Structure 1
């Protein structure tokens, strides 16, 4: 009986591939249903042969409790953007500086939800959303409901690939038609509908919405795949849906011609696209080019020009940020832009308003920057009301009514009252945010609510909430389970590394990257607090303005008190990394090139950073050492021309062994 069950599963997997991927079924729906019914009956009779990847499990019906967070084995990077031919030429120039023979694969940028799939021994294992690129959510049960995604593949090794889950236009229109009948709010666009569907806790709902997916990126090293195009062919051979509308190009001009062609044809496609992705085809060249903190240097995304619409600007209101920075915002008559309703847009600062001569009650042109953030492009003076007067920027804080200050060489105004309620709220929101202390369930609205109800007035109060558990449970909208979840997240945050705490403190001019640099250099909060401007400016990536801001921050009694309070609550005051030992690599700038035979380049990078090196992705006059493996390319030649010290893999491992216990 097991043999017949396996035979039916294999047959139905193949029939599903023909129907949902190839759109060319070899059997009728009636025959498919007959085989499916037989398999369901056999599985019901023999539950000992249950398989979560069986075709019978793809009809939905499970109610999930939630989604577990998963750290990606390999970071999911976002892409840098290009908006015109000049941007593409610059990208091409940088690539060709390293590899004159580089070619590109140019693909459609699907407007959906980025996803990572993992397979092992030919079986589907897990699906994880992109999240912040480092941590996503396990949505495997919902991904099983997408019929075009194979649950079994021929390749038996470990496989991780990335792609985009999307809602076809046909499915989107049908969904919204049904929501009209049910009296429910319509989805703004297919992307929002796809994202909302993937986060459904009822798999039957996911199954009913007919999502789809295209797969376009290999996330593991496979020796037999040398190019991006070979990876796409490999995906297709293993039953994955690959978008056929890709093209191989050699120049920026060829890429631009393809972009113009697809710009004209995009609206005829059965799915939404929001741009074109350009990738270096050769995988070895990709590895050589490397990445920045967030984006690969071997790929770029061309974004289609934003849709522009006209509406009325009815008012300008000010908001106060955590540093006291004042941001003017346009209040707009509601208008639909790029598929979503827009009622507000940021106006940045006084200079922006003056330069564009934006006035209250003006008709203005609005678009979404990068198809996401609403912005006012310009006013339309010829449609201006008679008697209209230029906007005068306020001099008083809208929240605490303190006098606003505009510092020399800055375009923004600031409320310098550190007790301003708006600054207090924003500082707590920032502290708890994902990029800072990442306190799950303590989002913007909850911080504001707890502040209004007297629970949160300072950052320290976050760690005193555990003493008010019973009071929290009595609040409207709070239950015992949600309160315990919040308190657990707060407790977990105490173990976050120093870089998260430094960023969470909200020091002016210190972003996420600078916080990481400071935490790595000083390793403890005490050492950082004692640093002076001269010492700080000696650190790579820390400029004078940032250095002065750090010193000023730690000279304020209120901030010193905050740190001591957090220390008493048990928060970590040291870096996540082991304090660097003095080695041959300490303080040196090192570049890795070529293929290392005994370890991956990421592993080598971690060792170097632990031994105090600054690992760079490109060779320059500032490079101290080039570590080269097999098939080292232009970086080796450049290093030789610059007189950079060279070290092969064997020499590198020999040096490392001196410091390993």
Structure 2
């Protein structure tokens, strides 16, 4: 890096820092920020006589906003040294051992939120101060007092500063964003931005509604006399503060690595955003003897997790036609590696989403991916536009069959039933597990059959012969026979799965089961009023079902003539179904032996109502394998929890 490049990098990083710390509106990802920061740091170590006076390496946090009263921390709120690899961890620990000998290390999660300093005098909360520049922050006491996990009084004499992180639980964050969308307000990009913005509201009533939570991680000024940080933190927890989900005193680097990997593996199931592990010398006196740099104590570091959000550039928008004709825009982006997966394409759901984000071709965007969740664009970095970006226009013709489309606002549809993409996607949906369950008929196989003219619609599946398959690429006699057997087996399927397989818009697995049970063999000959009698059915669902049957009745009748559908006749009951689950609100989580829709239908036949989220109104959570944040939430609310085995024993 040349000196002129260094000065430009300092200018850019200061711009990013202000957007992050002061404006609560980041224009760079954490990874970009950290990378540029370390490039600047490297230059400064090699050229100590050329360090710029405004270098961000000389600052701890952000500037103080004008709207709040300034307040001083009694002891500085230091930042931490970041490390990103096993090699850097080894170097850091060896440096510690060289100076003070082998010591134990206290490890805990690094929560991704907003730092806060609480000052108590003789047990009473006197002031709450944001980190600010590390020495002076903003007095946000009124807002802090609305956070239920911050005690207003503690059993402690004298003066004490308790430092911690203000966060929003991931489950609460989803609900907050749903509410904001209903109010036609822009959703928050992530829980960290939401917690930082909520904590610094001028109206504390807004803060109170945001479900903030405080996790302590350290102490500033105090008269406490503990030998170790781990003992000190146990005392802090005993005063009524929340404990982190994991913490550990480690004896060596191997134990630190195991703890790091434990948190990394459980990162998605823990209901708080974490971006690494904080490692501290546990012996307080020995740790302090290491001293401080201008920015951080030498006894502490943050071992960062791999990024789950990165910045990319939108190269193109590709419209895709689904089975119902709905055209979905997909963003083609510069490849980024997130959680071990190279992401090149991100769905945008609909063209209204593009307009909501104010997205343009060429824009830099933040892309996130957590666990196995589908990647999504959460934010457009408008502050980094250079004028070369181009508007994205809503399509007027189908990208596949070139017929004119119907623009309904949120949804844009191709109405041509013979559109090749519609045909392929409707067949793929028809064959899935919760539909006709035709094993071995993958999406690529369906595309191969359509492209080679072997099938033109769903009905053609049941006319396939051995000779149609064995001349296709990748097919040998055994594979062809197995596929034909699976197709033949699917002929004898119940009517609930058959209705679901039709792929009717707004009619999913549960609604299909309700229709099948209520109407039996007469499921095609129903009126709107009869459909509206079904619990949970509205005008849109009823209209969608009736219109689909009207348009496709001939094709459905031909399918029914070919198949041996098992009709579900539900007996009339004067009273709701009795039993353990009758009248209860049930939530399902984790991987289950049966398809989720099957378990839902079984519960509903037992008189239960199946909810999608854990709330205080939930009665029972049924947990399968790898249950995540819903299980933790249920435990916090004291909701009854059943394992999958317990559920099956009851039913």
TM-score range, shorter chain: 0.3 to 0.5
TM-score by length of 1: 0.45
Larger radius of gyration: 2
TM, length-normalised to structure 2: 0.46
